[in-house]
Amino acid sequence: MKRVITYGTFDLLHWGHVRLLKRAKELGDYLIVGLSTDEFNEFQKHKEAYTSYEHRKMVLEAIRYVDEVIPESGWNQKVQDVQDRDIDVFVMGDDWRGKFDFLKDYCEVVYLPRTEGISTTKIKDDLK
């Protein structure tokens, strides 16, 4: 079984997120999402999610491509996650290209093209 992992806040889940999750799942058989906790968002990513961790987790668990959701509580847990969870492929949108290349020592690293024209920020701005 080929195990894939990706990370993010996934706030106000939209089709750009879903396309990322779909393509990530297509790279293997089992997809884990490391979901940014509210504390990680607020104090280290400096982005406040509209929906709480529990609600973002509930939504992600309803997505057919997602097999498991785990908390992402810091920048430095990825190597441990990859080892502990026997990960074969790490996936992120290409806005992160190069930022996680250190994981190449532990698993395949894939950056997928971001979906243009949609973002959580755009949704918030358009609804103002």
Report, in angstroms and rounded to the nearest whole number, the Rg of the chain calculated over CA atoms: 14
Q: Is 6 exposed, middle or buried (0-12, 13-18, 19+ CB in 10 A)?
A: buried
Contacts of 32 (CB under 8 A, 6+ apart): 3, 4, 5, 6, 67, 68, 69, 70, 81, 85, 87
Is 36 among the residues that bind ligand C2G (CB under 6 A)?
A: yes
Tokens 């997809």 belong to 31
Q: Which residue is nearest to ligand C2G (CB)?
A: 93
Active-site residues, by number, are 45, 47
Min. distance of Cβ 1 from ligand C2G in angstroms?
22
If the CB atoms of residues 30 and 51 are measured against ligand C2G, the closer one turns out to be 51
Q: In this complex, which beta carbon is closest to ligand C2G, that of residue 2 or of residue 47?
A: 47
- Residue 37, interface with ligand C2G (CB under 6 A)? no
Return the range that interacts with ligand C2G (CB under 6 A); candidates 3-11, 63-71, 79-87, 102-110.
3-11
